[in-house]
Chains A and B, each alone.
Chain A
Amino acid sequence: MFDTYKRLTLPECAEVTPNHAHSEVDDDQSGASLQGVTEWVVAGPRALTFGWVWAFEPNTQRVIGRWSTLSTNLMVIDSNGVDLGAEATARCVTAMMSRVHWERIVAAAVGLLPEP
C-alpha cells in the first residue's frame, strides 16, 4: 500500500501556516453563485497540499468554502499516532484556513476584492 499521507497531530496543525498558491473561477457559472477552486500549500520536503471549491454568495457578499470538496495529503492523528479520519482532518483544515483568512485572499485573488 502506497501511503501518501503526511501525518500531524492537532497541536502540530495549530503551528502550520498555509500559503495561498492559486485560485481561479470556473468557466461554467450557471449555478446560483460564482465559484471556483483554490490551492494552498505548506512548503517542505514533504509539502502539504490543500485544494477545495470556493463559492461567492451574492446575498451575503461572502466567499465560502465547499469543504466536502477538500483534497489534501494531510491526515490528522491523535497523540497515539492513530489516524483520526477525513472528517477530523477537514475540520482541522478549516480551522487552519480560518486563521489565515483564506476567504479574503481568494476573493482578492479572483478580483472580488481589492488586493490586501
Chain B
Amino acid sequence: MNFVSARSNEFEPGLYDALARYRYRVFVERLGWELETTPGYEQDQFDHEGTVHVVARSLQGDIVGCGRLLPTTDSYLLQSVFPQLLNGLPAPRDPNIWELSRFAAMPVKTADGDASAPCAHAAERVLLQALRFCAARGVSQLLAVSTLPVERLMLRAGVDVRRIGPPVMIGGQRVLAFVIGVHQQSLDALAVFEVAAASPHSAALLPLQSTPFVSPVSATPRTIGIPRIDTPARTVRVETTASEHNKVEVRTRAVDHCRLAA
C-alpha cells in the first residue's frame, strides 16, 4: 500500500477523479449514505482545489482508503452540517485544529472488475498518514464526526481520542464527534501497525485486542471485537430471547454501518 497526502490540485492527473469514484462506491453504494452528488462521483461543498486528501492505493494501483483534511479556519463538516454533535460547545476556529472526514479504508470493485485484496491494518495506516500530515504542519488536534466502531478502533489502536458529546442517531446510525490528539502518543500507537503491515511476523507488537484472526462464521479476516476496516462492513443488531437453562437465542441481522468518518 502506498499513500498520497496532498491538496487535490497537486494530485497526479486522474487521481482526484478516481478518488471521487472510490468515495461514491464506499459512501453511497456500500454504506448507503444519502449524499447529494453526481451518480458515480462523490464530492461535496468541502471539496475544492485546495482541499487536502490522504489517498491509499494498493500495489495494483487501486484506491483502498482515503481521508479528507479540512482546516477549521474555513467551513467544515462538524461546524456546518452536524453542529448538534458539538454538545453545546462552540465550533473551534483555530489554525492548529483541523477536521478529518470522508475517512474510509476498504477495497471496492473498480470499473474493471474485481476489488483489490484487503490491505493489512489499512484504517490505522490511513489515519497515521493523516496525523503525520497534520503533525508536520503544527496541527495539534483533529476533529472527527464518526461512528462508534471507528471511535472504538482508534481507542484500541492507542490513539488519543476524546469525546465531544454523546452519539446521536443520524441516518439510522449512531454518530458522534470526537477529538483526535495529534501528538507522539497517537503517532507511535499507529506506527506499530505500519511496522506490522511491513512485516507480518511482527504482529506480536500489536495491541492484544487487535490481533487479527479468522472469524469462524465468515472465514473473513477480522479483528477481535470490532470489524476490520479493510473487510466488508457489518454490524449486527441483536434480538435476543432468554430460554430454558439460561441459554440465549441470538438472532442477528447484519446491517451495513458506517465504520467510517463522515
Name A's B-contacting residues (CB within 8 A).
Answer: 1-2, 4-5, 21-22, 24-28, 30-31, 34-37, 39, 41, 45-49, 51, 53, 61, 69, 71-73, 110-114
Contacts and interface: CB of A to CB of B under 8 A. Distances in A.
Contacts of B141: 1-2
B166 A30 contact: no
A37 B148 contact: yes
Given A51-B148, A111-B239, A2 B225 contact: no
Contact of B166 (A1, A21, A61, A114): A21
Interface in B218-253: 222-227, 234-242, 246, 248, 250, 252
Interface string B149-165: 00110011000011111
B11 interface: no
Contact of B162 (A4, A28, A34, A36): A4
A47 B236 contact: no
A112 B248 contact: yes
Contacts of B163: 4, 49, 51, 71-73
Contact of A39 (B164, B174, B235, B246): B174
13 contacts: A4-B164, A4-B179, A21-B166, A25-B238, A25-B240, A25-B250, A27-B227, A28-B215, A39-B167, A39-B174, A49-B163, A69-B152, A111-B248
A104 B235 CA distance: 23
A61 B97 CA distance: 46
Given A51-B167, A53-B152, 17 more contacts: A2-B89, A2-B94, A4-B164, A22-B174, A25-B240, A26-B236, A27-B254, A28-B215, A28-B222, A28-B227, A30-B213, A30-B217, A36-B238, A46-B88, A49-B176, A71-B178, A110-B240
A27 B97 CA distance: 35
B58 interface: no
Interface centre among A22, A27, A51 (most CB of B within 10 A): A27
B227 A49 contact: no
B179 A111 contact: no
Nearest to A23: B238
Contacts of B215: 28, 30
B123 interface: no
Contacts of A26: 225-226, 236
Contact of A71 (B161, B238, B248): B161
B113 interface: no
A96 to B, nearest CB: 15
Q: Specify which of B89, B148, B240 lies most central, judged by the most chain A CB atoms within 10 Å of its CB.
A: B240
B164 A45 contact: no
A5 B250 contact: no
A111 B240 contact: yes
B225 A24 contact: no
